[in-house]
Amino acid sequence: MTSEYVEIGSGDPIEQENCVEFRLLFDGEIGPDSRAPVKQEIRRALHPQLRRLWQVNRNLREMAEHYGRMFHARMQTETGQTPTDVASQDEAMQLAFQHWGTNWNYAPFRFVPLVTKELALVCKIEILLLRPDDDTYVVEHGDLDGHVKTLFDGLRMPTKQDETGYSTPTADENPFFCLLEDDRLISELRVKADKLLLLPHKAISSKNDAFAVITVTINHKYRGTFDQWFA
């Protein structure tokens, strides 16, 4: 049996034209509790996918390049250096990521969220969540159930060290890419749950197994804000 939960109007309306759409995958275990280490493992599974998105999406590459060159010029002006241009797009992008990572530095992690108030971006999220349970309801006592809450929280950037489960970043996680600065930037949320038969890499099913397909649509919050990248 399939069930669906829909929440509309939890954030600012998203422009329906010229959106950037992509899908994130999660394949692992999600317990019914909301422990910080479980949420951090979800973030860790999504981090390389989001980093890859910045690398392959032309619009996002150009936006990161623009900000990297802008941050570079500002730094030279503030330090009295002779103005020089950034050598390549990749170098400019890395400067942008360094700046954003410093801006969202919650030691020991330096986060780079994609959807932020600073970039005036909003998003729509649709989640297909497969679980072994015969009971696939996503609402319990008028609220999202524990599995869905945990997955949802894993999309958001932590703002305190205890929200990471006091973990430390690996060499591959500096900076650490995540989806949302704040879940209030979500304009629409849809969750559909169905039965999971078996995870592809496992021979035996576990009660906490989960497979999620997270479809994300992002656009600028205000018409004309980023027409050069979202157009």
Query: Of all residues in the chain, what percent carry a pLDDT higher than 90?
Result: 43
**Three-state secondary structure call for residue 145:** coil
Q: What value does the mean pLDDT take over residues 104-133?
A: 88
Q: Which residues contact 210 (CB under 8 A, 6 or more apart)?
A: 26, 27, 28, 29, 30, 129, 130, 131, 147, 151, 196
What DSSP state is assigned to residue 164?
G
- Over residues 8-45, the pLDDT tens digits come to 555 556 666 668 899 999 999 887 666 899 999 999 99
Answer with the residue of higher pLDDT: 143 or 4.
Answer: 4
- Answer whether 60's CB lies under 8 Å from 100's CB: no
Domain boundaries, the chain: 3-57+111-220
* pLDDT value, residue 140: 58
Mean pLDDT of 50-55: 97
Confidence (pLDDT) at 142 = 45
Predicted confidence (pLDDT) at residue 65 exceeds the cutoff of 90: yes
Mean model confidence pLDDT for the chain: 84
* For residue 191, pLDDT beyond 60: yes
Asked if residue 170 has pLDDT above 90, the reply is: yes
